[in-house]
Amino acid sequence: MHEKEKDLIDAFLRGQVDRRGLIKGLGAMGLAAGTAGTLLNLGQTRALAADFDWQAHKGKTIKLLLNKHPYADAMIADLENFKKLTGMNVVYDVFPEDVYFDKVTAALSASSPEYDAFMTGAYMTWTYGPAGWITDLNEWIKDPAKTNPNYAWDDFLPGVKNSCAWNGKPGGALGSDDAKQWCIPWGFEQNNITYNKAMFDKAGVTIPGNMDEMVAAAAKLTKDVGGGVYGIGVRGSRSWATIHPGFLSAYANFDQKDLNVSADGKLSAAMNTAQSKAFHKQWVQMIQESGPKDWSTYTWYQVGTDLGAGASAMIFDADILGYFMNGGDNKMAGKLAFASFKANPAAKAATPNIWIWSLAMSNFSKDKDATWYFMQWASGPEHGLFGATKMDFVNPVRQSVWKDEMFREKLNKSYPGYVEMFDASAPGASIKFTAQPLFFDLTTEWAATLQKMVAKEVPIDEGLDKLAESINGQLKEAGLG
């Protein structure tokens, strides 16, 4: 790196030059954007090394268990910088999601020391933590001797960070003062609207601003777009994953809950209130009138594929699902747009439920300190910015990355409405479920009940009353109710 280039990068790292000025300046020196990005990465690595003993575990090797995902791809693409920074080696196994969580459970339940850290969903830590399979990371986060001074723990989006912390008590509030930090958020998904602008224009439909409008818009799109296009894609398979995206995001916007928590910590079903029943009626009507014919088989993949192929006019699901359908070789690439969705007309803003891909440390790791060096780098602001600007690492979990002008411009250029959607939704984004050990079983039963309602096998009011009765029985049997 020549002195002029080094001086300009150092000025950026000191905050004297913004990112636009940096890239413009390096360009004036004859450097292409890709080369400029590489030099910036090297400069950031050099700056990190100046403030902290990153070489404390030089020569050590850690092993990761990874899901095949753009977040893992971004990390692997940047891994040489970690190796240069620390002198450590990193090896990893990558598996597709259809088998990934089985691999995680097999390793942890066997107390295997093979993997030091792994990707996980925050919901899974409600099982892994109390079982003693993962480590409370507060010990490292709060130790200045083990965590670099630029890590900026307060830079994480509060709702996301708190959703990864739980005290282990069924019904305990996420992010409470006594919570254990079971995992570090890495990337996350909000649930909002991705829509096909041309189809909306053809049908004369505007972006829905509440649940009533969404039901009406989906029906009009189904009727007027033609060509077999249906109005809205949402998940419908018999799985907990049907409840957590659009459904729970809208449900929670009406201040509805999955479970009640009494003063003495007892849990009880909360989905058979009058307001909940009214919401379910709208949701079921929307699917019956405007959803795909085989809705009960729909997962993330079918919802996204239909949107990308032009078979649906909009989805109410993960924003990053729409992001990926708006690119690649999808038929509708470049034709999709994004909007925040506030289901309740009386609510001030959207309050989406979220899915968080996180990094957790195995309690069976033979070198937790070395593992933490990798985890703090992979979840740090420098790598976060690399993933967001150079790769498809959406959504970042750090506020500083979302403030980066180049990242916002990247989104504005190809993903219309995405930045505005994020800014409107992020303050209210968090996990809305009640943390408790029966989460997956009870939520899957909820999805099964929803299927019966859509199929008209059970009236909605009766179905929710029976569901609540069943859940209360299971909670009492488990000593939770």
Query: Do 193 and 333 belong to one domain?
Result: yes
Lowest mean pLDDT among 40-54, 62-76, 367-381, 464-478: 40-54
Judgement on whether residues 249 and 342 belong to the same structural domain of the protein: yes
Residue 42 structure tokens: 């090297």
Same domain, residue pair 440 and 304: yes
The answer on 263 and 128 residing in a single domain is no
pLDDT (mean) for 288-312: 98
Q: Cβ-count burial of 227 within 10 angstroms (0-12 exposed, 13-18 middle, 19+ buried)? A: exposed
Q: Do 331 and 220 sit in the same domain of this protein?
A: yes
Instruction: Look at residue 217 in the predicted model and tell me its pLDDT.
Output: 98
Burial of 368 (0-12, 13-18, 19+ CB in 10 A): buried
- Whether residues 310 and 440 share a domain: the answer is yes
* Best CA proximity match to 163, nearest among 141, 137, 178, 183: 183
What is the pLDDT at residue 85? Answer: 97
For residues 398 and 436, state if they share a domain: no
Percentage of the chain exceeding pLDDT 70: 90
pLDDT of residue 51: 83
Domain CATH number, residue 117: 3.40.190.10
pLDDT digit string, tens, across residues 108-144: 999 999 999 999 999 999 999 999 999 999 999 999 9
Integer Cα distance of 121 and 134 in angstroms: 13
What pLDDT is stored for residue 65 in this prediction? 98
Q: Which helix (H) or strand (E) holds 186?
A: strand 184-196
- Tell me, yes or no, whether 54 lies in a domain: no
Q: Which of 228, 279, 233, 232 is nearest to 255 (CA)?
A: 279
Are 213 and 110 found together in one domain? no
E-state strands within 243-313: 259-261, 267-269
| pLDDT tens digit sequence for 17-50 | 566 666 666 666 665 555 555 555 555 555 665 6
Answer yes or no: do 32 and 148 share one domain: no
DSSP class of 206? P
For residue 443, tell me if it sits in a domain: yes
Alpha-carbon distance of 323 to 115, in angstroms, equals 31
Residue type at 391?
M
Specify the number of domains making up the chain: 3
Residue 452 inside a domain? The answer is yes
In tens, the pLDDT along 410-452 reads 999 999 999 999 999 999 999 999 999 999 999 999 999 999 9
Q: 194 and 320 share a domain?
A: yes
| Residue 458 belongs to a domain | yes
**Are residues 197 and 183 both part of a single domain?**
no
Computed on alpha carbons and rounded to an integer, the radius of gyration of the chain in Å comes to 23
| Amino acid code (one letter) for 225 | V
> Which of 429, 475, 477 has the alpha carbon at shortest distance from 259?
475
Q: Which of 422, 447, 467 is the last residue of a domain?
A: 422
pLDDT digits (tens, 9 = 90+) for 314-364: 999 999 999 999 999 999 999 999 999 999 999 999 999 999 999 999 999
The range of the structural domain enclosing residue 25 comes to: 1-48
User: What mean pLDDT, rounded, does the chain reach?
Assistant: 94
Is 392 among the domain residues?
A: yes
Alpha helices per DSSP H over 204-273? 211-224, 240-243, 246-253
Q: For residue 412, is it within any domain? A: yes
User: Model confidence over 141-185: pLDDT tens digits?
Assistant: 999 999 999 999 999 999 999 999 999 999 999 999 999 999 999
